[in-house]
Amino acid sequence: FPDLLSPQKYYPPDFDPAKIPKLKLPKDRQYVVRLMAPFNMRCKTCGEYIYKGKKFNARKETAQNEAYLGLPIFRFYIKCTRCLAEITFKTDPQNTDYAVEHGATRNFQAEKLLEEEEKRRQKEREEEELNNPMKVLENRTKHSKLEMEVLENLQELKELNQRQANVDFEARLKQYKELEEEQRRKEQE
């Protein structure tokens, strides 16, 4: 029993953990990580298309002297699947995205362009409303008119459902009583 209760390591009486030397690692140390391509891209060297979600063994490092609101920016190095040319991209926390540095070009992204266009339109609307009080009034009346139409349509649908779902409770009760009487007769017979 003493073997089971005692720790499995021996510490000599003169052991001092402060005397153990600390490992000095460089700040720009690279780690090997497994990651997926964050977007569709095309290699500049051979023209190979690399689709979003393709898995790579990449080298990861912290970009020196680069940060966004205290968040470190990471740089990733991957190799093209066909020509083994190096492609680098880094995180872009400002836009919650990634940015290609070199070795590849990012493929066309319709969704991103649509989002940017929508943001631009929203900004224009807000600026126009700030400068033109009549426009604010017009937008409010449009919005309230649309809201009224939606409420009217909803009310019409409710009325239509009520008309179609007319339940005659008296007839149901009468039918239930008749069934009960039939069962009593059968039991008596």
- For residue 22, the SS3 value is coil
Last residue of a domain, one of 59, 88, 107: 107
Out of 61, 88, 107, pick the residue that ends a domain.
107
Over the stretch 140-186, which tens digit does the pLDDT of each residue have? 899 999 999 999 999 999 988 887 776 677 888 899 999 999 999 99
Give CA–CA dist 157/160, Å, rounded: 5
Run of H or E including 20: none
Task: Give CA–CA dist 99/106, Å, rounded.
Answer: 9
Domain end, chosen from 107, 133, 160, is at 107
- For the record, the structure tokens of 182 come out as 């039939």
User: pLDDT by residue (tens digit) across 21-34?
Assistant: 988 888 778 999 99
The two structure tokens encoding residue 113: 């362009």
- Single-letter residue type at 152: E
**One domain, residues 103 and 116:** no
Residue 167 lies in a domain: yes
Residue 128: domain span: 109-188
